[in-house]
Amino acid sequence: MNKFYSKHFLALILGIFFAFSSLQAQDIHYSQFGNSPLNVSPALTGAFDGDTRFGANFRSQWSNVPVGYTQFTGFTDMKFVRKKLEDKPFTPWAGGLMFDYDRAGDSQMNLLQLGASGSYTLGLGQRSGLIIGGMLSGIQRAFDNSVLRFGDQYNGKDPVTGTEEVFATQSRLYASIDAGLTYRFVASEKRTSLNVGVGAFHLNTPKRNFFDEANEELPRRWSFFALTTFQLTDALDITLNANHQFQGVHTETVLSAGIPIHLETARTKELAIQPGIKWRIDDAIIPFVLIHYRQWQAGLSYDINTSPFTAATINRGGPEFSLIHIFKRPREAPFCPLCPTYL
Protein backbone atom coordinates (compact mmCIF):
# COMPACT_ATOMS: atom_id res chain seq x y z
CA MET A 1 0.00 0.00 0.00
CA ASN A 2 2.94 2.39 0.62
CA LYS A 3 3.98 1.97 -2.99
CA PHE A 4 0.44 2.68 -4.10
CA TYR A 5 0.21 5.91 -2.13
CA SER A 6 3.64 7.20 -3.13
CA LYS A 7 3.04 6.59 -6.84
CA HIS A 8 -0.59 7.63 -7.16
CA PHE A 9 -1.19 10.13 -4.37
CA LEU A 10 -1.09 13.09 -6.75
CA ALA A 11 -3.71 11.55 -9.05
CA LEU A 12 -6.00 10.91 -6.08
CA ILE A 13 -5.63 14.46 -4.76
CA LEU A 14 -6.40 15.92 -8.20
CA GLY A 15 -9.48 13.73 -8.45
CA ILE A 16 -10.78 14.81 -5.05
CA PHE A 17 -10.10 18.45 -5.94
CA PHE A 18 -12.13 18.17 -9.12
CA ALA A 19 -14.89 16.24 -7.36
CA PHE A 20 -15.44 18.88 -4.68
CA SER A 21 -14.61 22.09 -6.52
CA SER A 22 -17.30 24.73 -6.00
CA LEU A 23 -18.39 24.85 -9.62
CA GLN A 24 -21.79 25.64 -10.68
CA ALA A 25 -26.43 19.54 -12.68
CA GLN A 26 -29.74 18.03 -14.77
CA ASP A 27 -29.50 15.05 -17.06
CA ILE A 28 -30.29 11.51 -15.98
CA HIS A 29 -28.32 10.82 -12.83
CA TYR A 30 -28.32 8.03 -10.25
CA SER A 31 -27.51 7.75 -6.57
CA GLN A 32 -25.60 4.56 -7.48
CA PHE A 33 -23.57 6.55 -9.99
CA GLY A 34 -20.70 4.04 -10.02
CA ASN A 35 -23.12 1.40 -11.34
CA SER A 36 -24.11 3.55 -14.34
CA PRO A 37 -20.61 4.34 -15.63
CA LEU A 38 -21.44 5.62 -19.13
CA ASN A 39 -23.69 8.30 -17.60
CA VAL A 40 -20.71 9.45 -15.51
CA SER A 41 -18.10 9.59 -18.29
CA PRO A 42 -17.54 8.03 -21.73
CA ALA A 43 -13.98 7.40 -20.49
CA LEU A 44 -15.31 4.70 -18.15
CA THR A 45 -16.04 2.57 -21.22
CA GLY A 46 -14.06 -0.63 -20.67
CA ALA A 47 -12.88 0.41 -17.19
CA PHE A 48 -13.59 -2.88 -15.44
CA ASP A 49 -11.97 -6.24 -14.75
CA GLY A 50 -13.29 -8.55 -17.45
CA ASP A 51 -14.09 -8.67 -21.16
CA THR A 52 -17.77 -7.72 -21.52
CA ARG A 53 -20.09 -5.92 -19.11
CA PHE A 54 -23.90 -5.70 -19.13
CA GLY A 55 -25.82 -3.43 -16.78
CA ALA A 56 -29.20 -1.91 -15.99
CA ASN A 57 -30.45 0.80 -13.62
CA PHE A 58 -33.97 1.73 -12.51
CA ARG A 59 -35.05 4.63 -10.33
CA SER A 60 -38.46 5.79 -9.14
CA GLN A 61 -38.52 9.13 -7.31
CA TRP A 62 -41.22 11.18 -5.57
CA SER A 63 -44.06 8.86 -6.60
CA ASN A 64 -46.21 10.28 -3.79
CA VAL A 65 -46.17 13.83 -5.22
CA PRO A 66 -47.63 15.00 -8.58
CA VAL A 67 -44.22 15.32 -10.28
CA GLY A 68 -42.89 11.77 -9.99
CA TYR A 69 -39.78 10.71 -11.93
CA THR A 70 -39.02 7.35 -13.52
CA GLN A 71 -35.61 6.54 -15.01
CA PHE A 72 -34.18 3.47 -16.72
CA THR A 73 -30.75 2.82 -18.21
CA GLY A 74 -29.42 -0.23 -20.01
CA PHE A 75 -25.81 -0.44 -21.13
CA THR A 76 -23.11 -2.76 -22.35
CA ASP A 77 -19.41 -2.27 -23.04
CA MET A 78 -16.64 -4.60 -24.08
CA LYS A 79 -12.91 -4.65 -24.65
CA PHE A 80 -11.55 -5.42 -28.09
CA VAL A 81 -8.86 -7.91 -27.04
CA ARG A 82 -6.03 -8.81 -29.36
CA LYS A 83 -4.61 -12.24 -28.67
CA LYS A 84 -1.14 -11.02 -27.82
CA LEU A 85 -2.57 -8.60 -25.23
CA GLU A 86 -4.86 -11.04 -23.44
CA ASP A 87 -2.65 -11.30 -20.36
CA LYS A 88 -2.04 -7.56 -20.05
CA PRO A 89 -3.90 -5.54 -17.35
CA PHE A 90 -5.05 -2.91 -19.87
CA THR A 91 -6.60 -3.35 -23.31
CA PRO A 92 -6.20 -0.35 -25.62
CA TRP A 93 -9.60 -0.28 -27.33
CA ALA A 94 -13.12 -0.64 -25.92
CA GLY A 95 -16.63 0.22 -27.10
CA GLY A 96 -20.10 0.44 -25.61
CA LEU A 97 -23.80 1.14 -26.11
CA MET A 98 -26.19 2.93 -23.74
CA PHE A 99 -29.97 3.43 -23.67
CA ASP A 100 -31.57 5.99 -21.35
CA TYR A 101 -35.27 6.61 -20.64
CA ASP A 102 -36.67 9.29 -18.36
CA ARG A 103 -40.27 10.34 -17.68
CA ALA A 104 -41.35 13.12 -15.35
CA GLY A 105 -44.22 15.38 -14.33
CA ASP A 106 -47.84 16.01 -15.32
CA SER A 107 -46.88 16.62 -18.96
CA GLN A 108 -45.32 13.14 -19.09
CA MET A 109 -42.16 14.77 -20.38
CA ASN A 110 -39.92 11.97 -21.55
CA LEU A 111 -36.41 11.57 -22.83
CA LEU A 112 -35.07 8.74 -24.98
CA GLN A 113 -31.34 8.49 -25.62
CA LEU A 114 -29.27 5.97 -27.54
CA GLY A 115 -25.51 6.43 -27.41
CA ALA A 116 -22.46 4.66 -28.80
CA SER A 117 -19.18 5.14 -26.92
CA GLY A 118 -15.55 4.27 -27.54
CA SER A 119 -12.34 4.57 -25.56
CA TYR A 120 -8.60 4.20 -25.93
CA THR A 121 -6.24 3.44 -23.04
CA LEU A 122 -2.75 4.89 -23.07
CA GLY A 123 -0.55 2.74 -20.82
CA LEU A 124 1.42 4.68 -18.20
CA GLY A 125 3.08 1.65 -16.64
CA GLN A 126 2.42 -1.98 -15.80
CA ARG A 127 -0.61 -1.22 -13.62
CA SER A 128 -1.93 2.20 -14.68
CA GLY A 129 -3.31 3.93 -17.75
CA LEU A 130 -5.01 7.04 -19.08
CA ILE A 131 -8.38 6.38 -20.76
CA ILE A 132 -9.64 8.78 -23.43
CA GLY A 133 -13.31 8.30 -24.28
CA GLY A 134 -16.01 9.73 -26.52
CA MET A 135 -19.71 9.14 -27.16
CA LEU A 136 -22.21 10.15 -29.84
CA SER A 137 -25.89 10.06 -28.86
CA GLY A 138 -29.24 10.58 -30.52
CA ILE A 139 -31.83 12.08 -28.14
CA GLN A 140 -35.58 12.64 -28.32
CA ARG A 141 -37.49 14.90 -25.91
CA ALA A 142 -41.28 14.83 -26.04
CA PHE A 143 -44.36 15.64 -23.95
CA ASP A 144 -48.13 15.10 -24.13
CA ASN A 145 -49.94 18.41 -24.59
CA SER A 146 -53.40 16.80 -24.27
CA VAL A 147 -53.01 16.17 -20.53
CA LEU A 148 -52.10 19.81 -19.75
CA ARG A 149 -54.48 22.62 -18.75
CA PHE A 150 -53.73 26.33 -19.28
CA GLY A 151 -55.16 29.53 -17.79
CA ASP A 152 -57.19 30.45 -20.88
CA GLN A 153 -59.15 27.19 -20.55
CA TYR A 154 -60.96 28.45 -17.46
CA ASN A 155 -63.73 31.07 -17.35
CA GLY A 156 -63.38 31.72 -13.64
CA LYS A 157 -65.62 28.87 -12.60
CA ASP A 158 -65.55 25.93 -14.98
CA PRO A 159 -62.90 24.59 -17.38
CA VAL A 160 -63.60 25.14 -21.06
CA THR A 161 -62.13 23.46 -24.11
CA GLY A 162 -59.56 24.97 -26.41
CA THR A 163 -56.42 26.96 -25.72
CA GLU A 164 -54.32 29.49 -27.55
CA GLU A 165 -51.14 27.92 -26.20
CA VAL A 166 -49.68 26.47 -29.39
CA PHE A 167 -46.45 24.48 -29.64
CA ALA A 168 -44.55 24.11 -32.90
CA THR A 169 -43.85 20.51 -31.96
CA GLN A 170 -44.31 18.14 -29.04
CA SER A 171 -41.21 16.15 -29.93
CA ARG A 172 -37.66 17.23 -30.57
CA LEU A 173 -34.72 15.21 -31.94
CA TYR A 174 -31.09 16.24 -31.52
CA ALA A 175 -27.59 14.80 -31.28
CA SER A 176 -25.12 15.07 -28.42
CA ILE A 177 -21.33 14.87 -28.52
CA ASP A 178 -19.68 13.75 -25.26
CA ALA A 179 -16.09 13.12 -24.14
CA GLY A 180 -14.15 12.11 -21.07
CA LEU A 181 -10.78 11.38 -19.47
CA THR A 182 -9.99 8.81 -16.75
CA TYR A 183 -6.84 7.86 -14.87
CA ARG A 184 -7.05 4.16 -13.89
CA PHE A 185 -4.84 2.15 -11.54
CA VAL A 186 -5.24 -1.54 -10.66
CA ALA A 187 -3.00 -3.08 -7.98
CA SER A 188 -1.24 -6.35 -8.72
CA GLU A 189 -2.90 -9.42 -7.15
CA LYS A 190 -5.16 -7.21 -5.03
CA ARG A 191 -8.67 -5.77 -5.18
CA THR A 192 -7.30 -2.22 -4.83
CA SER A 193 -8.22 0.04 -7.75
CA LEU A 194 -8.63 3.71 -8.57
CA ASN A 195 -10.56 5.56 -11.28
CA VAL A 196 -10.38 9.35 -11.26
CA GLY A 197 -11.53 11.59 -14.08
CA VAL A 198 -14.03 13.83 -15.81
CA GLY A 199 -16.92 13.50 -18.25
CA ALA A 200 -18.15 16.32 -20.50
CA PHE A 201 -21.61 15.95 -22.05
CA HIS A 202 -23.43 17.97 -24.77
CA LEU A 203 -20.28 19.68 -25.95
CA ASN A 204 -22.21 20.83 -29.04
CA THR A 205 -24.96 22.44 -26.86
CA PRO A 206 -27.84 21.19 -29.09
CA LYS A 207 -31.12 23.09 -29.38
CA ARG A 208 -34.04 21.52 -27.48
CA ASN A 209 -36.84 24.10 -27.75
CA PHE A 210 -40.49 23.32 -28.59
CA PHE A 211 -41.23 26.84 -29.92
CA ASP A 212 -39.98 28.02 -33.31
CA GLU A 213 -39.11 31.47 -32.00
CA ALA A 214 -37.21 30.08 -29.00
CA ASN A 215 -33.53 29.20 -29.03
CA GLU A 216 -33.06 27.03 -25.97
CA GLU A 217 -29.73 25.22 -25.91
CA LEU A 218 -29.01 22.20 -23.74
CA PRO A 219 -26.25 23.27 -21.32
CA ARG A 220 -23.07 21.25 -21.10
CA ARG A 221 -22.91 18.84 -18.19
CA TRP A 222 -19.59 18.30 -16.41
CA SER A 223 -19.07 15.26 -14.22
CA PHE A 224 -16.00 14.90 -11.96
CA PHE A 225 -15.58 11.59 -10.19
CA ALA A 226 -13.34 9.46 -7.99
CA LEU A 227 -14.10 5.72 -7.67
CA THR A 228 -11.78 3.89 -5.28
CA THR A 229 -11.53 0.45 -3.68
CA PHE A 230 -8.88 -0.44 -1.09
CA GLN A 231 -8.31 -4.02 0.02
CA LEU A 232 -7.78 -4.03 3.79
CA THR A 233 -7.64 -7.77 4.52
CA ASP A 234 -8.38 -10.99 2.68
CA ALA A 235 -12.05 -10.64 3.66
CA LEU A 236 -12.54 -6.88 3.94
CA ASP A 237 -12.37 -3.87 1.58
CA ILE A 238 -13.43 -0.25 1.75
CA THR A 239 -14.87 1.80 -1.13
CA LEU A 240 -14.77 5.61 -1.18
CA ASN A 241 -16.48 7.28 -4.14
CA ALA A 242 -17.45 10.82 -5.08
CA ASN A 243 -19.27 12.44 -7.99
CA HIS A 244 -19.71 16.18 -8.54
CA GLN A 245 -21.80 17.36 -11.48
CA PHE A 246 -22.94 20.72 -12.73
CA GLN A 247 -25.16 21.68 -15.66
CA GLY A 248 -26.27 25.25 -16.11
CA VAL A 249 -27.58 26.49 -12.76
CA HIS A 250 -27.93 22.95 -11.38
CA THR A 251 -25.28 21.31 -9.25
CA GLU A 252 -25.04 18.01 -7.37
CA THR A 253 -22.43 16.33 -5.18
CA VAL A 254 -22.73 12.73 -3.97
CA LEU A 255 -20.28 11.13 -1.52
CA SER A 256 -20.27 7.38 -0.91
CA ALA A 257 -18.61 4.92 1.49
CA GLY A 258 -19.07 1.15 1.59
CA ILE A 259 -17.53 -1.93 3.20
CA PRO A 260 -17.43 -5.03 0.97
CA ILE A 261 -17.34 -8.12 3.21
CA HIS A 262 -16.07 -11.16 1.31
CA LEU A 263 -17.82 -14.25 2.63
CA GLU A 264 -16.29 -16.55 0.02
CA THR A 265 -13.21 -15.88 -2.10
CA ALA A 266 -12.66 -19.28 -3.75
CA ARG A 267 -12.58 -19.01 -7.54
CA THR A 268 -16.05 -19.46 -9.17
CA LYS A 269 -17.65 -19.26 -5.70
CA GLU A 270 -17.04 -15.58 -4.92
CA LEU A 271 -19.64 -14.03 -2.60
CA ALA A 272 -19.58 -10.63 -0.90
CA ILE A 273 -22.06 -8.25 0.70
CA GLN A 274 -21.42 -4.51 0.69
CA PRO A 275 -23.44 -2.25 3.01
CA GLY A 276 -22.83 1.46 2.79
CA ILE A 277 -24.12 5.01 2.95
CA LYS A 278 -24.25 7.88 0.47
CA TRP A 279 -24.86 11.57 1.00
CA ARG A 280 -26.22 13.88 -1.66
CA ILE A 281 -25.18 17.20 -0.15
CA ASP A 282 -28.12 19.37 0.95
CA ASP A 283 -30.61 16.85 -0.46
CA ALA A 284 -30.62 13.23 0.77
CA ILE A 285 -29.11 10.48 2.90
CA ILE A 286 -28.95 7.23 0.92
CA PRO A 287 -28.38 3.84 2.58
CA PHE A 288 -27.49 1.08 0.12
CA VAL A 289 -26.45 -2.55 -0.12
CA LEU A 290 -24.69 -4.41 -2.94
CA ILE A 291 -24.54 -8.18 -3.35
CA HIS A 292 -21.59 -9.59 -5.32
CA TYR A 293 -21.94 -13.20 -6.46
CA ARG A 294 -19.43 -14.62 -8.91
CA GLN A 295 -19.74 -12.36 -11.98
CA TRP A 296 -23.01 -10.70 -10.86
CA GLN A 297 -23.64 -7.60 -8.83
CA ALA A 298 -27.07 -6.42 -7.62
CA GLY A 299 -27.66 -3.14 -5.79
CA LEU A 300 -30.52 -1.53 -3.86
CA SER A 301 -30.56 1.99 -2.43
CA TYR A 302 -33.19 4.35 -1.05
CA ASP A 303 -33.10 8.14 -0.97
CA ILE A 304 -34.25 9.68 2.32
CA ASN A 305 -34.96 13.27 1.40
CA THR A 306 -33.51 15.91 3.75
CA SER A 307 -34.03 19.08 1.68
CA PRO A 308 -36.85 21.63 2.27
CA PHE A 309 -38.90 19.59 -0.23
CA THR A 310 -39.61 17.20 2.68
CA ALA A 311 -42.87 19.14 3.18
CA ALA A 312 -44.14 17.36 0.06
CA THR A 313 -42.11 14.14 0.12
CA ILE A 314 -42.37 13.41 3.88
CA ASN A 315 -38.67 12.43 3.69
CA ARG A 316 -39.40 9.91 0.92
CA GLY A 317 -37.03 10.13 -2.01
CA GLY A 318 -37.22 6.88 -3.92
CA PRO A 319 -35.83 3.40 -4.47
CA GLU A 320 -33.10 2.64 -6.97
CA PHE A 321 -32.00 -0.72 -8.36
CA SER A 322 -28.92 -1.77 -10.31
CA LEU A 323 -27.76 -5.01 -11.89
CA ILE A 324 -24.39 -5.72 -13.52
CA HIS A 325 -22.98 -8.88 -15.08
CA ILE A 326 -19.34 -9.12 -16.17
CA PHE A 327 -18.21 -11.85 -18.52
CA LYS A 328 -14.56 -12.85 -18.42
CA ARG A 329 -13.51 -15.53 -20.86
CA PRO A 330 -10.92 -18.11 -19.83
CA ARG A 331 -7.37 -17.29 -20.90
CA GLU A 332 -5.31 -19.81 -22.80
CA ALA A 333 -2.63 -21.57 -20.77
CA PRO A 334 0.88 -20.46 -21.75
CA PHE A 335 2.70 -22.72 -24.17
CA CYS A 336 5.26 -24.97 -22.48
CA PRO A 337 7.90 -26.17 -24.97
CA LEU A 338 9.59 -28.52 -22.49
CA CYS A 339 6.73 -30.04 -20.54
CA PRO A 340 7.69 -33.19 -18.60
CA THR A 341 6.25 -36.49 -19.70
CA TYR A 342 4.53 -38.60 -17.08
CA LEU A 343 4.21 -42.37 -17.53
Q: For residue 315, tell me if it sits in a domain.
A: yes
Query: Which of 12-21, 49-58, 73-82, 208-217 holds the top average pLDDT?
Result: 49-58
Query: Apex CA 206: angle with CA 202 and CA 211, to 5°?
Result: 145
Nearest to 123 by CA among 95, 81, 92: 92
- Domain span holding position 277: 2-144+174-327
Domain assignment of residue 291, yes or no: yes
Q: What percent of the chain is predicted at pLDDT more than 70?
A: 71
Number of domains in the chain: 1
Does pLDDT of 301 surpass 70?
yes
Q: Is residue 151 part of a domain?
A: no
157 located within any domain = no
Q: Which pLDDT does position 161 carry in this prediction? A: 62
Give the per-residue pLDDT at 257: 96
Q: Give the pLDDT confidence score for residue 15 in this predicted structure.
A: 44
Distance of CA 77 to the CA centre of its chain: 13
Is residue 62 in some structural domain? yes
96 assigned to some structural domain? yes
Name the nearest CA neighbour of 51 among 73, 83, 27.
83
Q: Which of 112-121, 154-163, 293-302 has the lowest mean pLDDT?
A: 154-163
Q: Is residue 169 part of a domain?
A: no
Q: What is the mean pLDDT of the chain?
A: 81
Q: Quick check: is 338 in a domain?
A: no
Chain segment 28-74, per-residue pLDDT in tens: 789 999 999 999 999 999 999 889 999 999 998 755 555 667 899 99
Q: Give me the CATH number covering residue 79.
A: 2.40.160
- pLDDT computed for residue 64 by the predictor: 55
